[in-house]
Amino acid sequence: MKLSTKGRYGLRALIDLALYSEEEAVSIQSIADRQNLSYSYLEQLFGRLRKEGWVKSVRGAQGGYQLAKPANEISVGDILRTLEGNLEAVDCAADQEDNSCEGADLCVTRYVWKRINDSIKEAVDTIMLDQLLEESRKIRDKGQISTQTCKN
């Protein structure tokens, strides 16, 4: 499984938002500047995130975005599914409701695909945004913030 820029940039943007929006709303432009990302691309991503209820927009001169829920209630999986869709590495026909896989009862590889998909789900659903926020603060407090922007 390989994530697109939607998932990678969206996750970076939400960590940035969580870090800087504790006291006031944060503009997409400020996130784009700090993360060296395209404003218009982030605007599209935030539209999806707002529609799914992960962020809320604040109007006015000091407007921008804030998290719509506490960071400890938003998982990496929530963010990635919103931006990427299905996170399964393999869509196994045997697991579909229409029972379209004739060889499902004899398929040994089905076990492999299920284990891989379950592992991905476990990983992304147990990492919460507040954990990433805490890691970001530790790096910032140690003065390890690089002048080079993360490429992921």
DSSP 1-14: ----HHHHHHHHHH
Q: For residue range 89-121, list pLDDT tens digits in order.
A: 877 655 555 556 666 565 677 788 888 989 999
The residues with which 26 forms a beta bridge, in sequence order, are 65
Report CA-CA distances (Å) from 89 to 2, 14, 148: 8, 24, 31
Q: What is the pLDDT of residues 12-70, one digit of tens each?
A: 999 999 999 888 999 999 999 999 999 999 999 999 999 999 999 999 888 899 999 99
Average pLDDT score, the chain: 86
Strands (E), 25-63: 55-58
62 close to 25: Cβ distance less than 8 angstroms: yes
Q: What is the pLDDT of residue 8?
A: 95
The class that CATH gives domain 5-86+128-141 is mainly alpha
CA atoms within 13 A on the CB side of 110: 13
